[in-house]
Amino acid sequence: MKITTHTQSTILLYLIFGMMQGAFAFEVTTHAKITQNAWARFITIDPSVLSRMGIRDSADAFKTKNHYDYRPASGEAPLVRTSNSTALFGEEQIIGREPVSVLGAPPVSPFSVVGWLMRGVIREDDDINADDPSPKDDPRGDFHRVFAHFHDPVNGKGLTTDIKTLGPNAADWALKSDARMPAFPAIPWPVNALATPERYNSFNLISFRESQWIALTGLDKAGTKVAFNEEQRGVHWATSFRSMGDILHLNQDMAAPQHTRNDNHAGAFPTAASGHKSVFERYADARVKGDFAFSNRDDNISVGNIRINPLPIDFGIYPVPLFEKYADYWASSDKKGLADYSNKGFFTIGTLPNLPSNTYPSPSKTISSYAREQVAITRWNGQAVSSWLPKATVFKGTVPDGNQPQLAAMNTPQFARSIWDDARQGLLAPIDTDLITLTKASYDAAIDLLIPRAVAYSAGILQYAFRGQLEITPPAEGIYSLVDHFTFSGAGQPATAPTAGFKGFKTIKLKLRNATPDIGSAPQIMPGGKLFAVLKFHRNTAYTDDLANEPATSSAYNANRSTAEEIVVSASVKDSAGNLFTGPITTTAQTLIFEFDQELPINATDVKLQVVYRGPLGSEADAVVVETVDISEPSYFTYMNATDYIGIGSNIYTRSQINASPTLLSKVRPTTCVDAMTNQLRVGPGDCFAVTPINFTMTFGVNNNAAAGVAVSNTGQYHRLAMLTTAGGAGNIG
């Protein structure tokens, strides 16, 4: 029988699918705990990150169990997905699990901020295979996500065979909107692989940024309102952090050498051809969970065929790297990425130094260049195998570190020559005349070096993703906004109804600067993009125009506080000269005026002011940066005159004298009101307040028809302004 090229390719494709049935890197619990520790590292570096975003962490941080599945680049509508436990999977149990080996990491709530990150790192391993424990809830059909978890930094490729590229490299899958998984045909017995169509990633950097932007503003990138309430914004927050979890997973896989050396995970059909299951990942997972056994096989009966005494995992204090772009966390031109490290420093069972499949320049394939140590052969739990077996030779070398050269690991067990195969727990096949293999010592050394780096690189990605900082300060006047409360007087105005209406503050004036630290010598500039002010608030439902029912106690306040958090978003932004502001946002504070079509209601309470930027930040083309400040609720500035005398210049007059003299009356009754468009005091004809005059002065603004900084005189028997200022503070009022 003649075997054609097509037949050979089909047979090989059978073998590829067979070998790839379990093509995972770290098991999901290991990913979850790497992420938990990475978040803890990140929060120590940037403890204010959640307050900048206006987020409070809790057991139900975003008030939802839902997230969206969508590709912003395609313009498709988001599909709501519900995260919950299933009998086959139970991601909440994985997130909340507290292994004894996790040092100092408290239990995690599944729907906390870090819980959503952990959900993403778990769900990135979803797969179509029936024996895979993922929930099988992809709205467009499940597929082999795991095929995109490989990244060969030497060749810049993902998982590749002689006949087919099985997926994009991991960095592209995480970062690029056009990265796609190729279609795969159905393959019947003996593999029983289902057909999968060409697919794009719904949980990548683009999903993370777009969801973050919508959660903050309610608007999509095109400016269309797509999130109409707090619940929908919460689902976008959940989607954003879930997407970042998927991104972290794709970087953590770079700490698994098989994923950076194009070595598919051996196992499944046919075992004789493909070898044993990935021991590195299953052994690491057993150590993370504190299990006393793990399986190196693909069946469901050999769940503990290798017995161990689990060593606790030390997630380490490897320095958190901060690079100038996301892709460098995978691989960089100066070899500082995590894929660079694992590719250069470690062998895998499919790329041992004596195998022709090992095409990588490092580690050295010259066996004579390694130091040697003779060791007795034992099982993984330390039990002796047989006294007649010859000792194994362990070969030790140096694992270099391109990112931290001083942390190169000397005298590291990298492979062994032994008649005993640790991973099979048996004798090596006679045809393997070199008897080269990996042993428990090799795996322990790799785990102890790679997992702390996986934690640090994940923390570094988080630090890079949330590095943007803005600084908001009040304008020179000390007041963010000012309105004439007299215009709210009178009963029955629907615009000031306690539970509806948006009559109130139309503009916000502030100073803004780019406070993002440089990365090394690279400034994180904001040359210009979208810039919005957002006011988050609840409502005081006891509000009346005369302020007669203002809550006097905390219990009364809570009883009259609306439940849902609302937002209003600015429509335009101008500089201090009244020109449309387009950037850049400089490191020196600039005075800006944000104008709102939908005003902040006069009965707003719990007011938070946010400025949100979307655009270039350093080398990132589409970053989102936000700053949140707690400002005062509408504060009322009231004057009442109960005296019979009025001072004008150096003279004192009675009211009757003033009223009898048009000249004197014109001096004490100029109208001073607040311009609703600019929040500036203005002087004009007529009596704005229609009251008996008193004297007071207020300095606000430079365009108030008076010289800059000059106090404007106003008179009246009763006068009340409403203003927004710093929480607990006041403006320059005298």
Whether pLDDT at 65 is above 80: yes
Q: How many Cα neighbours within 13 Å face the side chain of 711?
A: 10
Average pLDDT over residues 568-576: 95
Q: Over the stretch 449-479, which tens digit does the pLDDT of each residue have?
A: 999 999 999 999 999 999 999 999 999 888 8
pLDDT, residue 105, reads 56
Q: Are strands 371-375 and 392-399 parallel, antiparallel or unpaired?
A: antiparallel
Handedness of CA 200, 204, 206, 211 (dihedral sign): positive
What is the spatial distance between Cα 279 and Cα 256, in angstroms, rounded to a whole number? 11
Average pLDDT over residues 685-709: 34
3 state SS of 53? helix
Q: Is the bond preceding 321 in cis, omega lying within 30 degrees of 0?
A: no
Average pLDDT over residues 59-68: 95
Structure tokens at 585: 């946002």
pLDDT, residue 274, reads 40
Please give the model's pTM, rounded to 2 decimal places. Answer: 0.88
Average pLDDT over residues 368-391: 91
Whether pLDDT at 269 is above 70: no
Handedness of CA 339, 342, 347, 353 (dihedral sign): positive
What is the spatial distance between Cα 679 and Cα 475, in angstroms, rounded to a whole number? 12
Band of the pLDDT at 3, cuts 50, 70, 90?
A: very low
pLDDT, residue 13, reads 52
Non-local CB neighbours of 277 within 8 Å, separated by 6+ positions: 22, 265, 266, 267, 295, 296, 297, 298
What is the spatial distance between Cα 76 and Cα 98, in angstroms, rounded to a whole number? 38
What is the spatial distance between Cα 83 and Cα 245, in angstroms, rounded to a whole number? 14
3 state SS of 160? strand
* Token pair 């615009």 in the structure block, residue: 495
**Which residue did the predictor score with more confidence, 43 or 656?**
43
pLDDT, residue 1, reads 34
Q: Over the stretch 508-524, which tens digit does the pLDDT of each residue have?
A: 999 999 999 999 999 99
3 state SS of 63? coil
Phi, psi (deg, nearest 5) at residue 413: -65, 120
Q: How many Cα neighbours within 13 Å face the side chain of 109?
A: 12
**Which residue did the predictor score with more confidence, 328 or 492?**
328
3 state SS of 148? helix
Non-local CB neighbours of 208 within 8 Å, separated by 6+ positions: 240, 243, 244, 247, 465
Band of the pLDDT at 701, cuts 50, 70, 90?
A: very low
Structure tokens at 197: 């169509």
- Do the beta carbons of residue 217 and residue 569 sit within 8 Å? yes
Q: Are strands 590-601 and 572-575 parallel, antiparallel or unpaired?
A: antiparallel
What is the spatial distance between Cα 398 and Cα 409, in angstroms, rounded to a whole number? 6
Whether pLDDT at 361 is above 90: yes
Average pLDDT over residues 249-277: 72
- Do the beta carbons of residue 393 and residue 374 sit within 8 Å? yes
CA distances from 664 to 17, 254, 642 (A): 96, 82, 19
Whether pLDDT at 25 is above 70: no
105: nearest Cα among 28, 49, 34: 34
* Token pair 């778990």 in the structure block, residue: 122
Residue 548 burial (10 A CB sphere; 0-12, 13-18, 19+): exposed
**632 backbone φψ class: left, alpha, beta (φ>0; ψ -120 to 50):** beta
Whether pLDDT at 731 is above 70: no
pLDDT, residue 276, reads 58
Cα 567 to chain center, whole Å?
A: 22
Whether pLDDT at 496 is above 70: no
Cα 523 to chain center, whole Å?
A: 22
Percent of the chain with pLDDT over 90: 55
| 565-574, 634-643, 685-694, 725-734: least confidently modelled range | 685-694
User: Residue 86: which H helix or E strand, with range?
Assistant: none
pLDDT, residue 641, reads 55
Handedness of CA 51, 53, 57, 60 (dihedral sign): positive
Whether pLDDT at 690 is above 70: no
Torsion over CA of 251, 108, 91 and 448, rounded to 10 degrees? 40
| Bridge partners for 607 per DSSP | none
| Bridge partners for 180 per DSSP | 200
What is the spatial distance between Cα 613 and Cα 184, in angstroms, rounded to a whole number? 41
> What is the 8-class DSSP label of residue 378?
B
**Which residue did the predictor score with more confidence, 147 or 733?**
147
Percent of the chain with pLDDT over 70: 79
What is the spatial distance between Cα 466 and Cα 555, in angstroms, rounded to a whole number? 37
- Do the beta carbons of residue 403 and residue 379 sit within 8 Å? no
Whether pLDDT at 214 is above 90: yes
Non-local CB neighbours of 94 within 8 Å, separated by 6+ positions: 28, 29, 32, 118, 122
- Do the beta carbons of residue 438 and residue 347 sit within 8 Å? yes
pLDDT, residue 668, reads 58
- Do the beta carbons of residue 596 and residue 569 sit within 8 Å? yes
What is the spatial distance between Cα 175 and Cα 267, in angstroms, rounded to a whole number? 30
584: nearest Cα among 623, 610, 627, 616: 616
What is the spatial distance between Cα 528 and Cα 533, in angstroms, rounded to a whole number? 15
Mean per-residue pLDDT of the chain = 83
pLDDT, residue 192, reads 65
Q: What angle do CA 443, 449, 454 make, to 5 degrees?
A: 110
Band of the pLDDT at 412, cuts 50, 70, 90?
A: very high
- Do the beta carbons of residue 420 and residue 426 sit within 8 Å? yes
| Bridge partners for 470 per DSSP | 514
Structure tokens at 25: 């890197």
Band of the pLDDT at 174, cuts 50, 70, 90?
A: very high
Q: Over the stretch 630-672, which tens digit does the pLDDT of each residue have?
A: 999 998 877 655 566 667 777 887 777 877 887 777 665 544 4
